[in-house]
Chains A and B, each alone.
Chain A
Amino acid sequence: MKDEVTRDERVANLKGMGCSRKRVEDARFTQGKGNYVDDIKLDGMLFGDFVRTPYAHARIVSINTEEALKVPGVLAVLTAADLEPLGLHWMPTLAGDKQMVLADGKVLFQGQEVAFVVAEDRYAAADGIELVEVEYEELPVIVDPFEALQSDVVLREDLVGEGGTLPDGAHGPRKHHNHIFRWEAGDRDPTAQVIAEAEVVAEESMYYHRTHPCPLETCGCVASMDKVNGKLTLWGTFQAPHAIRTVVSLISGIEEHNIRVISPDIGGGFGNKVGAYPGYVCSVVASIVTGKPVKWIEDRMDNLMTTAFARDYHMTGKIAATREGKITGLQCHVTADHGGFDACADPTKFPAGFMNICTGSYDIPTAYLEVDGVYTNKAPGGVSYRCSFRVTEAVYFIERMIEVLAIELNMDAAELRRINFIKKEQFPYTAALGWEYDSGDYHTAWDKALKAVDYEGLRAEQAQRVADFKAGKTRSLMGIGLSFFTEIVGAGPVKNCDILGLGMFDSCEIRIHPTGSAIARLGTISQGQGHATTFAQILASEIGLPADSITIEEGDTDTAPYGLGTYGSRSTPVAGAATAMAGRKIRAKAQMIAAYLLEVHDNDVEFDVDRFVVKGAPEKFKTMKEIAFAAYNQAIPGIEPGLEAVSYYDPPNMTYPFGAYVCVMDIDVDTGVPDIRRFYALDDCGTRINPMIIEGQVHGGLTEALAVSLGQEIAYDDMGNVKTGTLMDFFLPTAWEVPNYETDHTVTPSPHHPIGAKGVGESPHVGGVPCFSNAVQDAFRPFGNRHTNMPHDHWRIWKTAHDLGLHD
């Protein structure tokens, strides 16, 4: 048969890597045909919901469920006393702490789960909740971590030993009863010495406020215990379904093969859906008790007030430099507010996540980081909201410290960055705090970004604006926000990355069907990232079958290979690598089959797009489609039938995406209203799998960065009441508030990743937050501003102007 199709056309037909292939998921999402947890309806399904405490710190005197049980349709009300015989009134957290499933004698934060009402429908459950009578005895409330470390008030009596002794926590010795851990990285004394002897030192304290990932779909689950065959099926909004299966097995005693965890379509996660929540445990128990499926779905207030928050880091830094601007040392101390339980989702050995990436993109020879985790009367969490384990905090810290140092040196902040960037030839680069950066070309990216926005022109315009302002010609100031970030994603190498002892590898299993199509299953789970689209593209390029002929399936632990799930931008760096490696195993076997069919030696054929060709004789070939058929239907000596492969990928290192962002903002000095005039985002995520999806991820991440920097917060009053528990006060931007984004890129592949990809989903958030914040702060720099804390909402921006005397 003569091949009429050109090679370029064959490449295009695959829709492989580099193609802006339309998202295959969107057909169902845009037509309302998605299948989310709350869409699951089972015969006889019951609904559970929580009685929650209005108090942030109180002793439970009594719980009376009598009236609630009289509500028609209410079947049961579970309390800690009911869970205790099962050993399920407390559960382990991902951070090595334990957390009450239902209030065991006291409550530690507003909204904490006190009782679980199980009813025939959610309306009866809501009525039942109203009638559960809980008597509380209020206790002193602590919402400030610095106060917590001084206070006599003990938040966690369960962690105090006999006679007031303090047993070690999961991460070593504790220095106070409200102290969780101290974690250190780098060299304390040498850093102190460098700072003491430095020509210039800039010092700043900053608070990265508490916020929340706020996915569109809240958390929820459906638990169904089949008492006939002893199998538990648990559908849920899980970012890590296999980890949930293992955890459920460990805490319930149900053997793992009898547990099936399914993550159906998930409406965004952003870290909020990584952890295990009381709702999951209570639903499972309720299903076991009633013998019926039990559904639990958070409402928006539950979600914002109780399931995992993000940040809440009080950071103090010192950065040392020469008078010419060469940075010589960096010191960082963090007081980390973890709330009532330590339920951070970090790799075990990293209780402050990868905060030790806080030397950023700069060649800083000496550094020291110290983090103190503290209990307060706030909700537990501390998850990576669209970032990899505290990287957002780290990048915000260094990108603010750079700006403050620039002020101290009276130097342009863009130039200061350029002087200190790690140079291209220094990679792989080992940072002072331990990480080995895989690849980068920061100078090229920075120059490209500054040129694209005409940085010199912007500075000239800004200077004119300041002059006009001082002359009374305008009440608007102009800020130029700069940010250069390096992410650390793709956790991670099993040798140092595990969660609850589970190694952070990931996996892919491929089955090629006889007619040349395929299904691939992974240990990850998409929450909107478009895995079904992009993983098929990786495979298309690796195995030469069209992406449109490859089904990607995730989220069912009965069918998918074991993996640690999707968060921390790990899907492409880890599962994407597993996909490529599994694809290469397919290709290796296909090569042998092709050689047999072409009657040549294995080494005499080579892969070309969608086929194996005889070297030097491209007219002699077998397509992958033909090879697939032969694999199943032709007896080939020495080769077993079938064409399948599985790969478990333990990454040798993290990947280090980076980027250069510039924001131009006008600020109304009198009202505090910012107007984002321009936002330019250059991302280098290594090899680009689907440019359109990358662009979409950048838009989304930047929008969440805008939210966090300009207003999104979980604020508490002194009594521990959440002041921002609804979307009226919790800032979730709409299209109206979002500027036009300009995206750009450079490509510096990861040298250790099979296809050179680094991951991109979280970069725009990590780099965006300091960029927006720096724009606000830069607008006031000519008037003496050094640092103001986020969120930069109208009144805080106004206050900055006011405090600088700009309203006089």
Chain B
Amino acid sequence: MIPAAFDYHRPTDMAGVIALLQEHGDDARVMAGGHSLIPMMKLRMADVPHLIDLQSVSGLGGISIGSENIRIGAMVTQTDIIADDALAKGAPILREAALQIADPQVRNMGTVGGNVANGDPGNDMPGLMQCLDATFSLIGPDGVRDVPARDFYEAAYMTARTDEEVLTAVTIPLPAGGYAYEKQKRKIGDYATAAAAVQIVRDGNICTAASIAMTNLSDTPIYSEAAGAALVGTSVDDAALAAAADAMQGDIDPSEDNRGPVAFKKHVAGVIVRRAITRAWSRA
């Protein structure tokens, strides 16, 4: 459990980060909290000759809540998310989800940016950001660009981010309605057996909008547009729940691991998404 030798870089501004990425190409990786990358390096599954620590780069922190959007800097930790009362008011699903990530020690180091940028299908924030229709800001040698979370993930650890880009912030439209982040896991610190993020808007007894995303049930997070659509116009009764769960099943593609076989995961995904919808609806 000892990594191969690497050079440690700690630039203080983004220009320095980009320059290092350009200089070292594939041999360089940026690190935020390090809770995904460092274990991979210790297992020698990730070979990173040049490690670029973002801790001293200015401008990557902070949570700001505007009239339409919430902006979260990439280096904001899960603990910061949990502690921010204004954020908990503006987008309560973030706190509910962050409290289900790992344990307090990991949350003290683990960042939003690292969680969404690494492309690990087990991470909770990618699905959550797809549910919230977040946008990721990337900076690279050619400047800044925004990529919707729903377009960002290509495969496990493969994203729309190029090797020379850094994810700097997440922007979320202020969510409306009820919310729920429901996660089944084997123990504290575990990735999800199945997890569902749900935001749902209600007008009287009718659902007018719904957004649903699933975690750790494919090699990417799964935004299930069809599942959300199945709820719109309904009173979120049993039939609607069944339709949403069925639609979600069409989008996920879980694989067997120590958490259980595919049939189990699909079944639990259905249960979890129904529970998440029901809770979100009750809060809408």
Residues of A within 8 A of B (CB): 122-123, 126-127, 130, 299-301, 670-673, 711, 715, 723-724, 728-729, 731, 733-734, 736-737, 793-795, 798-799, 802, 807
Contact = CB atoms under 8 A, between A and B. Distances in A.
A299 B261 contact: no
B271 A736 contact: no
B188 A736 contact: yes
B258 interface: yes
Interface of B: 1-2, 4-5, 44, 103, 184, 186-191, 193, 258-261, 264, 267-268, 271-272
20 contacts: A126-B2, A301-B1, A670-B267, A671-B268, A672-B264, A672-B268, A711-B186, A724-B258, A728-B190, A728-B191, A729-B258, A733-B187, A736-B187, A737-B188, A794-B193, A794-B260, A795-B264, A798-B267, A799-B264, A807-B267
B258 A723 contact: yes
Given A670-B267, A794-B260, A799-B264, A130 B186 contact: no
A795 B260 contact: yes
A645 to B, nearest CB: 48
A795 B1 contact: no
Contacts of B271: 670-671
Contacts of A123: 2, 5
User: Which 5 residue pairs of A and B lie closest in terms of their CB atoms, listed nearest first?
Assistant: A795-B260, A126-B2, A299-B1, A795-B264, A736-B188
A218 to B, nearest CB: 11
Contacts, number: 63
A802 B44 CA distance: 40
A723 B256 CA distance: 12
A797 to B, nearest CB: 10
A803 to B, nearest CB: 12
Instruction: Identify which of B5, B258, B268 gathers the most chain A CB atoms within 10 Å of its CB.
Output: B258
Chain B's interface: helix, strand, loop or mixed, by majority? Answer: loop
Contacts of B267: 670, 798, 802, 807
Contacts of A122: 2
A66 B190 CA distance: 41
Given A127-B5, A671-B268, A798-B268, 11 more contacts: A122-B2, A126-B4, A670-B268, A711-B186, A729-B258, A731-B187, A737-B188, A794-B193, A794-B264, A795-B193, A795-B261
Given A126-B2, A670-B267, A731 B184 contact: no
B45 to A, nearest CB: 12
Nearest to B184: A671
Contact of A795 (B44, B259, B272): B259
B2 A794 contact: no
Nearest to B271: A670
Contacts of A794: 184, 186, 193, 259-260, 264, 268
A671 B264 CA distance: 8
Given A671-B268, A795-B264, A734 B1 contact: no
Contacts of A737: 187-188
B219 to A, nearest CB: 18
Instruction: Identify which of B184, B186, B190 gathers the most chain A CB atoms within 10 Å of its CB.
Output: B186
A524 B30 CA distance: 51
B210 to A, nearest CB: 22
Contacts of B4: 126-127, 130
Instruction: Identify which of A126, A733, A737 gathers the most chain B CB atoms within 10 Å of its CB.
Output: A126
A701 to B, nearest CB: 19
A71 to B, nearest CB: 10
Contacts of A673: 184
A358 B246 CA distance: 50
Nearest to B44: A130
A225 B189 CA distance: 43
Contacts of B260: 793-795, 798
Nearest to A724: B258
A793 B5 CA distance: 39
Nearest to A729: B258
